[in-house]
Chain A
Amino acid sequence: MTSPLIRIEGLYQLFGKNPQTHMHLVKAGKTKDEILAETGHTLGLKDINLEIQQGEIFVIMGLSGSGKSTLIRHFNRLIDPTEGRVIVEDEDIMELDAKSLRNFRQKKMSMVFQRFGLLPHYTVQENVAFGLRAQGVGKEEREKKAKQWLEDVGLAGYENQYPAQLSGGQQQRVGLARALCTDAEILLMDEAFSALDPLIRSEMQDQLMALQDRLHKTIVFITHDLDEALRIGDRIAILRDGELVQVGQPADILLHPADDYVEKFVRDVNRARALTVETVMKPPTHRIDAKTINDALAHMRSAKSGYAFYVNDEGYQGFVSEENLAKVAKEKGKEPLCEDYYEDSFVISPETPLEEVIPQTLDHDHPLPVVNEAGELTGELSRDDLVQVLTHTPTSDAAGNDDASEDEGTAKGTSKEPPAA
């Protein structure tokens, strides 16, 4: 595993006049309310530890007042923590002086804001070029790059408009273009889409994902909307009253909420839409690589399954049933399995949302084979598995799920490809 791009270690934020003098209360484990009552200080963040890998979309989600916007402002030190370290590429940014901090903000991180934060007296193009201007880049190059990025976010032709002349969605595109224009590796997005209406929001999400496919930025995304978090996040951290409650992949959070709080959050999520096939499929137990029909029959009989997925060196080949193979076994038992004996079956891909495979899965008595792009059989999805996931099985029932017994670290690797380093 490569070392994380951003590391947050033991971060505390206590708001008030003399935060340092009251830190011992926080360390002693007093609650937010107790500290407020005793000292008049507000506990913003408590012992935050995070590791964010290069190239991933890391979503921090929580309700208002959970400290998520405060947390993201520590990444580029718009707020200084009371205690703790923020390490980006092995550099502790708490130790930067004013000048190197400016340099860091100019080159390494850029930010998108909930209410856009555009400069109303600058044109759209000047806004996009703002970061470059702060860096002291020449006018010609600034304009060229700004124009390019405006095109990329679909705002070509709006260069000389002022922000007030644009709609909310367009303004946030300008905000996004401004963030991308500095070529910063890390993108901080503070409730970037929360102020937009739902249709525009999902459009922007699509656009962000499309851009991310191309650019492979490291994105820290703040939201209060779980659907949004599940949709775009590679990993999600859930924040409550300034404390991290759970960090994990979307499927982990949905299927194994860490506590009642998270559970309440995920209850209303449309699981069929949020989960993909690979998160609920089982390892393919009924696979055979037998050379001949007789071999195959022998396998199936010993497994008492009545069916099997036939796999050879070239990957998944087809679905065979004991019943039909038995009919031909007398005459052709020595012959190799080939297309003639495969039955009609449905093949599903691991990235498909459950929603799209519900009808096929329910139509078939046997589990459906899950085959990835390379043609390999990666799992199987049965009616029972599907129904169990969609009907809110109790989360304490760990036995029902393969991943549940494993710890969080390994679960990451199994359910989804780790982000490219």
Chain B
Amino acid sequence: MSWLTEFPQLSRRDLLTLRQTLDEGYRSFSRSYGEAIENFFDPLLAFLVWFENLLVEAPWWVVIAAILGITHYAARSIKLTVGVGISLFLVGFFGMWEDTMSTLSIITVCTLISIALGIPMGILMARSHRAQSIITPVLDIMQTMPAFVYLIPVVMLLGIGKIPGLIAVIIYAIPPVIRLTNLGIRLVDKEVLEAADAYGVTPMQRLFNVQLPLAMPNIMAGINQTIMMALAMVVIASMIGVSGLGQPVLRSITNQYFTLGILNGAAIVVLAIIFDRVSQSYAKRSQRYMRSGS
């Protein structure tokens, strides 16, 4: 009756065999398919590289002007535009321009891919309870599993570099946009939906003219969260070779460069604040009809 006093567990040998079998299996999988998968991502890599080069190699004032233009278009606030201009200038002034541009490019691409994958997933979840019950635990895993753990299989499969970094960032950052798209659609006023149905809309009209626009405040909140989480992931992603502000931060940790760490950390914060404020005020502006009074 040893199981009363000791926890009944697999023997050390069984455990070892299990681990070896799984590792071996995955290894042979990555050996036989790794290249094919890598090739699959090649166009994405090419785009990523092209976009990063575009930001890094363009004259700095052109980039700043472009970002200010986007900020102004999205937020229509002089205060915010001036603030963004000053912070970007300071980031460059302290010698972090190139790294910032690399980070900016990977965050932008990650966010775009997250939106492109996340919104359809959210729609699917909102339409089917079964899809929701399958996807929800997967999202839970993605958000709670330590990032280092899922870096391992990704690196085994694709090696180190931009693409594995991108995948890691997306896995970490995509859940909010999926969850909030689902939530947003589910929260759409039932009577408004009924009204749309009563006037004989097609399922497509219903989705694009009613559900998505009305879910937009929540979807925007999800996108905002996704951007923030992507930025938070930048440092970890730099461990597997993603260039950008994460690299110097990592160097500062290993070498105890206090000031270098602070400066690069601050640059990440600046990017985060810019993304956050711009996307928030864009969301607010595009939903101004929700408020009464002109």
Chain A residues engaging chain B, CB cutoff 8 angstroms: 73, 76, 78, 101-107, 109-111, 113-121, 130-131, 133-135, 161-162, 164-165, 178, 182, 188
Contacts and interface: CB of A to CB of B under 8 A. Distances in A.
B197 interface: yes
Contacts of A119: 192, 195-196, 209-210, 213-214
Nearest to A115: B191
A102 B201 contact: yes
Contacts of B210: 119
A106 B210 CA distance: 17
B200 A121 contact: no
Contacts of B287: 121
A78 B293 contact: no
Nearest to B190: A117
Given A105-B200, A134-B200, A165 B292 contact: yes
Contacts of A133: 205, 209
Given A120-B214, A162-B289, A134 B201 contact: yes
Q: Name B's interface SS.
A: helix
Given A106-B199, A120-B289, A134-B202, 12 more contacts: A105-B198, A105-B199, A116-B191, A117-B192, A118-B195, A119-B195, A130-B199, A131-B200, A161-B294, A164-B291, A165-B292, A165-B293
A63 B226 CA distance: 48
A365 B85 CA distance: 94
Q: Top 8 nearest A-B pairs by Cβ distance?
A: A117-B195, A105-B200, A106-B200, A162-B289, A111-B198, A102-B200, A131-B199, A117-B191
B290 interface: yes
A115 B213 CA distance: 19
B140 interface: no
Interface string B95-127: 000000000000000000000000000000000
Interface in B169-197: 189, 191-192, 194-197
A134 B290 contact: no
A105 B289 contact: no
A101 B200 CA distance: 8
Contacts of B202: 102, 134
A110 B289 contact: no
A164 B200 contact: no
Contacts of A188: 198
A121 B199 contact: no
Nearest to A111: B198
A121 B292 contact: no
8 contacts: A78-B198, A103-B200, A104-B200, A105-B199, A120-B289, A121-B216, A134-B196, A165-B292
B294 A110 contact: no
A161 B210 CA distance: 18
A135 B195 contact: no
Contacts of B194: 73, 78, 113, 117
Contacts, number: 78
Nearest to B201: A134
Contacts of B292: 164-165
B201 A164 contact: no
Given A117-B191, A119-B210, A121-B213, A164 B289 contact: yes
Given A117-B192, A121-B213, A182 B291 contact: no
B197 A78 contact: yes
A166 to B, nearest CB: 8
Interface string B202-216: 100100011001101
Contacts of B198: 76, 78, 105, 109-111, 188
A20 B272 CA distance: 56
Contacts of B293: 165
A104 B197 CA distance: 11
A119 B211 CA distance: 10
Interface string B224-265: 000000000000000000000000000000000000000000
A280 B168 CA distance: 83
A101 B203 CA distance: 13
A227 B91 CA distance: 71
B214 A121 contact: yes
Interface string B271-294: 000000000000000010111111
A236 to B, nearest CB: 23
Nearest to B198: A111
A110 B199 contact: yes
A266 B200 CA distance: 38
B3 to A, nearest CB: 43
Nearest to A101: B200
Nearest to B213: A121
Contacts of B201: 102, 134
A135 B205 CA distance: 11
Contacts of B196: 119, 130, 134
Contacts of A117: 189, 191-192, 194-195
A117 B198 CA distance: 10
Contacts of B195: 111, 113, 117-119
Contacts of A162: 289
Interface string B141-178: 00000000000000000000000000000000000000
Contact of B197 (A103, A105, A121, A182): A105
Contacts of A101: 200
A195 to B, nearest CB: 11
- Which among A76, A107, A121 has the greatest number of chain B C-beta atoms within 10 A? A121
Contact of B205 (A73, A115, A120, A134): A134
A118 B289 contact: no
B199 A182 contact: yes
A417 B294 CA distance: 48
B262 to A, nearest CB: 44
